[in-house]
Amino acid sequence: MTDIKDILNRLCDGRDLTREEIISLLENRTPEIQSFLAEKASAVARSHYGNKVYVRGLIEFTNYCKNDCYYCGIRCSNRNADRYRLTEEDILGCASYGYDLGFRTIVLQGGEDAYYKDDMIVRIIKAIKNEHPDCAVTLSIGEKSYESYKAFYDAGADRYLLRHETADFDHYAKLHPANLSPGNRQQCLFNLKKIGFQTGAGFMVGSPYQTNENIADDLLFLKKLDPEMIGIGPFIPHQDTPFKDMPAGGLDLTLYLLSIIRLMLPTVLLPATTALGTINPRGRELGILAGANVIMPNLSPVGVRKKYALYDNKICTGEEAAECMNCLKHRVESIGYEIVTDRGDNVRYKRA
């Protein structure tokens, strides 16, 4: 077995690690190793992106979802979820409000809701790009056909977020009902890349039944996919789901993984997620200090925010986007970083 020091050096030198080495990195986590890697990872982030933190305005436009993922608060069988849909006008209004606040990326996120047909999504993408040509549009609306993804891309969408959730098919089956296929989900990610989207994958940290072996496989899958963006955040139980009594994912493990991901994929756009800010009041700041470089504040109308509850106690559900922007500006500056309002593309990205 390779010595842990050796593994750390190889990781910091940008060399590939084997599955066994990654597992050993996870098993041997200590506060010292964690702060060593955070230091190295944030230096790598700064070498590519300076002390800039990119912001993405998130519009959660529907909490209807046809899927029944066991961890998620908006799963279709949650009868307590108060369902809502934003109209096209609402969505465009949110986007313009975000634009005025300085956002140059608009993220449209929703459950898998068949009410929004492809042509409607296409119309919304075109309208946002038409009104705000200097904005990037990111979609996060789940698994679709190659043709649908292509239509969204041709309409002007730039990026797509679709977490793979877990690379291990047996673990996937413990988190999802049998009608959901991890193979199809991974195929969607390769399709998105092929079409030309800046693509985001990712997983929850500390999801029920997750092992270090699973995490190692997640990291190897990410390395293979080589996405432009990676979203990871702690699993947080939701009271109306089968996983309501499962423990939340840990702060330190999440930070450790942010650092490892930054070192494995140096230019990746890596958010300090809202879930991370939910399990710890300084979670997002600590995320940036561990190597993250993106924050995704909420642009949804305050009236619907509490309803987009994937997990319990989500932060920022009572604040206006302008308040969050102010709050984030102070938080980010308090650790020596600054929020910037350009599109914040991956440094290696060029649209064909």
* Residue in 57, 208, 233, 344 binding ligand 5AD, rule: CB under 6 A: 233
Please list, in sequence order, all residues whose beta carbon lies within 8 angstroms of the beta carbon of residue 7, skipping any fewer than 6 positions away: 17, 21, 24, 25
Q: Give the residue with the Cβ less far from ligand 5AD, 165 or 168.
A: 165
User: What's the rounded Cα separation, in Å, for the pair 238 and 310?
Assistant: 7
Q: Are 227 and 191 in contact (CB under 8 A)?
A: no
Verify binding: residue 319, ligand FES, rule CB under 6 A.
yes
Contacted by 327, from ligand 5AD, ligand FES, none: CB < 5 to 8 Å by type: ligand FES
Rg, Å, the chain Cα set:
19
Q: Please report how close the Cβ of residue 56 comes to ligand 5AD at its closest, in angstroms.
A: 13
Part in contact with ligand FES (CB under 6 A); list of ranges 70-78, 154-162, 167-175, 318-326 = 318-326
Decide which of ligand FES, ligand 5AD, none touches 204; Cβ closer than 5 to 8 Å per partner kind. ligand 5AD
Q: Is 335 in the site for ligand FES (CB under 6 A)?
A: no
Using the rule CB under 6 A, which residue among 125, 216, 310, 325 binds ligand 5AD?
A: 310
* Dist CA 301 CA 98 (whole Å): 11
User: What element of type H or E holds 295?
Assistant: strand 294-295
Give CA 166 to chain center in angstroms.
Answer: 14
Torsional sign, CA 146, 147, 153, 157: negative
* Binding to ligand 5AD, residues 156-175 (CB under 6 A): 163, 165
- Residue 327 lies near ligand FES (rule: CB under 6 A): yes
Q: Contact, 278 vs 43, CB < 8 A?
A: no
324 binds, among ligand 5AD, ligand FES, none (CB under 5 to 8 A by kind): ligand FES
Q: Which of 132, 144, 185, 238 binds ligand 5AD (CB under 6 A)?
A: 238
> Which entry of ligand 5AD, ligand FES, none binds 316, CB below 5 to 8 A by partner kind?
ligand FES
Q: Which is nearer to ligand FES, 41 or 316 (CB)?
A: 316
Interface with ligand 5AD includes 201 (CB under 6 A)? no
- 3-state SS of 302-336 is HHHHCCCCCCCCCCCCCCCHHHHHHHHHHHHHHCC
Residue type for position 198: Q
10 Å Cβ neighbour count for 40?
17
Q: Of these, 328, 332, 337, 344, which contacts ligand FES (CB under 6 A)?
A: 328
Read off the tokens for 298.
């909420």
Contact residues for ligand 5AD, defined by CB under 6 A:
71-72, 163, 165, 204, 233, 235-236, 238, 275, 310-311
Contact residues for ligand FES, defined by CB under 6 A:
297, 316, 319, 323-324, 327-328
